[in-house]
Amino acid sequence: MFEEIKKYPLDFAFLFLGLGGLGLIFTAYSHFPTIQKQIVVVGGIFYFLWGVIHHLIRGDFCWRTVLEYLLFSAIAVGSAFLVLSWL
């Protein structure tokens, strides 16, 4: 993993800054669960698109990769929706 971060530092900097920024915005709207759900969806879409574009740049794109990023994003968004629904 660390070798890949060293090889593609801008890609991972964009990922960390994007998700970190969304995390800060999520925290800023702590009393508005509807807005938090929208932020979570944006985060899931961001992560999915980042993964697809990253693998296209690397040259090892395949449909299994798309499925992996799609499923991980969907599970994360679904889990966040469950937690936000209980609050």
Instruction: Tally the domains of the chain.
Output: 1
Distance of CA 9 to the CA centre of its chain: 17
DSSP state of 7: H
Q: What pLDDT digit, counting tens, does each position of 68-80 carry?
A: 999 999 999 999 9
Q: What is the pLDDT of residues 9-53, one digit of tens each?
A: 999 999 999 999 999 999 999 999 999 999 999 999 999 999 999
Domain of 44 in residue numbering reads as 2-86
- Taking a C-beta distance cutoff of 8 angstroms, is the pair 40, 78 a contact? no
- Describe the chain by its helix, strand, coil percentages, rounded to 5: 85, 0, 15
